[in-house]
């Protein structure tokens, strides 16, 4: 089905990212390493997927590729030449539609060409062709507010395509759309791509949706977090158009779940080096409701204590950005274990699912204090102080020795929400004080 020319290995790559590294300077002058030793190549005719959880550096990498920001190390070559600024020939579709509300569809699309000093009638011809190609014929003079989300994203595509880029970068372009609209847009896009009707040679698709990556990509690069790096590359050889019900499709999805939850790629449950206090563990923001819901679902039939993560994801309609941190938190708290893409409950996890509210809180408190060193640390400080109170800055300062201020803030927020549920200490949002008083 794929009408794109099949290229042999020695064809000049469209894009070559070599040992790319990116770090940002933190508020305290330290370095936040976001991307480490990223290598990737895009050849003509390829759709390459970057699959990873949020915060793994995917958007940062796209910005390097587009020339919107500079690598701290390594290089990005476009058609063999280093990218040093916004590269003509590379264009981007964003998750949020980023249209100008005061411009019509036609004007939003034509804008990209006006910046390139293209002749007027050429602008008109190409803009109308892009609008037509992407299924917006008849909407030329509509304003963004008159369009549905799906139609707006079609304008986003038309605007990226009108410049006839060699490489189209797509940063989670379907993730702000409802399920059906997203599916329609994906299918339309793939049809245009397979028919060779789009003026592009290669695509990089950033996504955190495993099924989407398998449906759309020829190769999938799996990203791990902290720092962002590629941990595996998966070839997708299933013929197009791909059917989600095909066992080969489901098998590949399963394989990727296994890889993405394997220990090597897991960083949110990082345990400190022996001898450390252990408070440098990054805690993910997962609500106690989601944790309880996941325990209940896995405990109940048909799962009865053990479930396949892809099945749970579809049963609970959870994205991996929600499911993985929740499953890993249960593992960190020793309520469950994750292995081979499955989650299975430990006896205490089953006890939690079977218990009433008060008993659940007691169990949760016990595990939180036993397995999350930061929880025990905050509790100890509050116990020892005469006032039984301490400002959050006291703990943020400690955390910031090990992580960026944003991550420290998130970690403390995660702890606060779990501690509230477990009733092991209280936190007052207005004064920023931790205390032993029971929250009312």
Residues in contact with ligand ADP by the rule CB under 6 A:
24, 32, 34, 52, 54-60, 406
59 binds Mg ion (CB under 5 A): yes
Report the phi/psi class of residue 317: left, alpha or beta, with left for phi > 0 and alpha for psi in -120 to 50: left
Q: What does the alpha-carbon distance between residue 297 and residue 345 come to, in Å, rounded to a whole number?
A: 11
Tokens encoding 319? 């994205």
Show contacts of 264-268: CB within 8 Å, 24+ apart: 264/224, 264/231, 265/222, 265/224, 265/225, 265/231, 266/328, 267/224, 267/225, 267/226, 268/225, 268/325, 268/328, 268/329, 268/332
Q: Which is closer to ligand ADP, CB of 58 or CB of 152?
A: 58
CB 206 within 8 A of CB 170: yes
Size of the site for Mg ion (CB under 5 A): 1
| Minimum separation from the CB atom of position 62 to ligand ADP (A) | 8
The torsion angle over the Cα atoms of residues 325, 326, 332 and 338, rounded to 10 degrees, is: -90
- Considering only the stretches 55-63, 224-232, 268-276, 419-427, report the one whose residues sit in contact with Mg ion under the rule CB under 5 A: 55-63
| Minimum separation from the CB atom of position 206 to ligand ADP (A) | 7
Report the phi/psi class of residue 312: left, alpha or beta, with left for phi > 0 and alpha for psi in -120 to 50: alpha
Q: Is 13 helix (H, G, I), strand (E, B) or coil?
A: coil
Q: Which is closer to ligand ADP, CB of 16 or CB of 172?
A: 172
Q: Look at residue 56 and give the partner it binds from ligand ADP, Mg ion, none, a contact being a CB closer than 5 to 8 Å depending on partner kind.
A: ligand ADP
Q: Look at residue 24 and give the partner it binds from ligand ADP, Mg ion, none, a contact being a CB closer than 5 to 8 Å depending on partner kind.
A: ligand ADP
Q: Which is closer to ligand ADP, CB of 133 or CB of 220?
A: 220
| Minimum separation from the CB atom of position 172 to ligand ADP (A) | 8
Q: What does the alpha-carbon distance between residue 321 and residue 429 come to, in Å, rounded to a whole number?
A: 26
Q: Which is closer to ligand ADP, CB of 70 or CB of 380?
A: 70
Handedness of CA 70, 75, 79, 81 (dihedral sign): positive
CB 256 within 8 A of CB 320: no
| Minimum separation from the CB atom of position 416 to ligand ADP (A) | 20
Q: Which is closer to ligand ADP, CB of 41 or CB of 54?
A: 54
The residues that bridge with 91 in the sheet, in sequence order, are 168
Q: Which residues contact 83 (CB under 8 A, 6 or more apart)?
A: 64, 65, 67, 75, 76, 77, 90
- Considering only the stretches 53-61, 263-271, 379-387, 389-397, report the one whose residues sit in contact with Mg ion under the rule CB under 5 A: 53-61
Q: What does the alpha-carbon distance between residue 283 and residue 377 come to, in Å, rounded to a whole number?
A: 14
| Minimum separation from the CB atom of position 320 to Mg ion (A) | 14
Q: Which is closer to ligand ADP, CB of 16 or CB of 410?
A: 410
Q: Look at residue 45 and give the partner it binds from ligand ADP, Mg ion, none, a contact being a CB closer than 5 to 8 Å depending on partner kind.
A: none
| Minimum separation from the CB atom of position 25 to ligand ADP (A) | 8
Q: Which is closer to ligand ADP, CB of 54 or CB of 435?
A: 54
Q: Which is closer to Mg ion, CB of 56 or CB of 331?
A: 56
- Considering only the stretches 8-16, 52-60, 240-248, 379-387, report the one whose residues sit in contact with Mg ion under the rule CB under 5 A: 52-60
Q: How far is CA 307 from the centre of its chain?
A: 23
Q: Look at residue 112 and give the partner it binds from Mg ion, ligand ADP, none, a contact being a CB closer than 5 to 8 Å depending on partner kind.
A: none
| Minimum separation from the CB atom of position 57 to ligand ADP (A) | 4
Q: What does the alpha-carbon distance between residue 53 and residue 231 come to, in Å, rounded to a whole number?
A: 13
Q: Look at residue 55 and give the partner it binds from ligand ADP, Mg ion, none, a contact being a CB closer than 5 to 8 Å depending on partner kind.
A: ligand ADP
- Considering only the stretches 3-11, 59-67, 216-224, 418-426, report the one whose residues sit in contact with Mg ion under the rule CB under 5 A: 59-67
Q: Which is closer to ligand ADP, CB of 57 or CB of 325?
A: 57
Q: Which is closer to ligand ADP, CB of 45 or CB of 49?
A: 49
The torsion angle over the Cα atoms of residues 210, 173, 314 and 343, rounded to 10 degrees, is: 40
Report, in this order, helix, strand and coil percent for the chain, each rounded to 5.
40, 20, 40
Strand-by-strand arrangement of the 389-391 sheet: 389-391, 433-435, 426-428
| Minimum separation from the CB atom of position 208 to Mg ion (A) | 8
| Minimum separation from the CB atom of position 27 to ligand ADP (A) | 10
| Minimum separation from the CB atom of position 53 to ligand ADP (A) | 7
The residues that bridge with 215 in the sheet, in sequence order, are none
Q: Which residues bind Mg ion (CB under 5 A)?
A: 59
């Amino acid at each position: 089905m794929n009408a794109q020319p099949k290229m042999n290995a020695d064809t000049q790559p469209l894009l070559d990212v070599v040992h790319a590294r990116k770090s940002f300077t933190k508020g305290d002058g330290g370095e936040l390493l976001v991307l480490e030793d990223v290598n990737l190549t895009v050849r003509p005719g390829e759709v390459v997927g970057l699959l990873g959880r949020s915060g793994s550096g995917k958007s940062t990498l796209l910005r390097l590729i587009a020339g919107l920001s500079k690598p701290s190390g390594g290089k990005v070559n476009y058609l063999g030449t280093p990218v040093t600024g916004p590269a003509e020939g590379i264009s981007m579709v964003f998750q949020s539609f980023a249209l100008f509300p005061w411009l019509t569809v036609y004007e939003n699309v034509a804008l990209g060409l006006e910046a390139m000093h293209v002749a007027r009638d050429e602008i008109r011809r190409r803009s109308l062709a892009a609008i037509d190609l992407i299924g917006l014929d008849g909407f030329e003079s509509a304003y963004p507010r008159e369009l549905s989300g799906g139609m707006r994203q079609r304008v986003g595509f038309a605007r990226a395509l009108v410049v006839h880029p060699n490489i189209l970068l797509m940063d989670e372009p379907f993730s702000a759309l409802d399920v059906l609209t997203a599916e329609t847009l994906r299918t339309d896009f793939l049809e245009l791509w397979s028919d060779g009707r789009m003026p592009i040679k290669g695509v990089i698709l950033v996504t955190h949706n495993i099924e989407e990556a398998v449906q759309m990509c020829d190769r999938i690069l799996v990203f791990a977090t902290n720092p962002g790096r590629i941990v595996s590359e998966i070839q997708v050889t299933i013929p197009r158009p791909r059917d989600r019900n095909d066992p080969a499709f489901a098998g590949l999805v399963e394989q990727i779940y296994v890889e993405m939850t394997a220990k090597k790629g897991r960083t949110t449950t990082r345990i400190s080096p022996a001898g450390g206090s252990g408070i440098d563990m990054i805690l993910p923001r997962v609500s106690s409701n989601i944790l309880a819901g996941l325990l209940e679902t896995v405990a109940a039939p048909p799962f009865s204590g053990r479930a396949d993560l892809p099945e749970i994801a579809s049963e609970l309609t959870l994205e991996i950005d929600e499911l993985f941190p929740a499953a890993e938190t249960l593992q960190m708290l020793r309520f469950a274990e994750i292995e081979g893409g499955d989650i299975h409950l430990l006896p205490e996890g089953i006890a939690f699912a079977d218990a009433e509210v008060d008993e659940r809180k007691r169990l949760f408190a016990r595990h939180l204090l036993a397995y999350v060193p930061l929880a025990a640390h905050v509790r100890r400080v509050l116990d020892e102080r005469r006032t039984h109170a301490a400002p959050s800055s006291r703990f943020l300062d400690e955390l910031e020795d090990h992580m960026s201020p944003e991550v420290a803030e998130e970690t403390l927020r995660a702890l606060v929400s779990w501690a509230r549920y477990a009733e092991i200490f209280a936190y007052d949002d207005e004064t920023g004080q931790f205390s032993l008083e029971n929250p009312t």
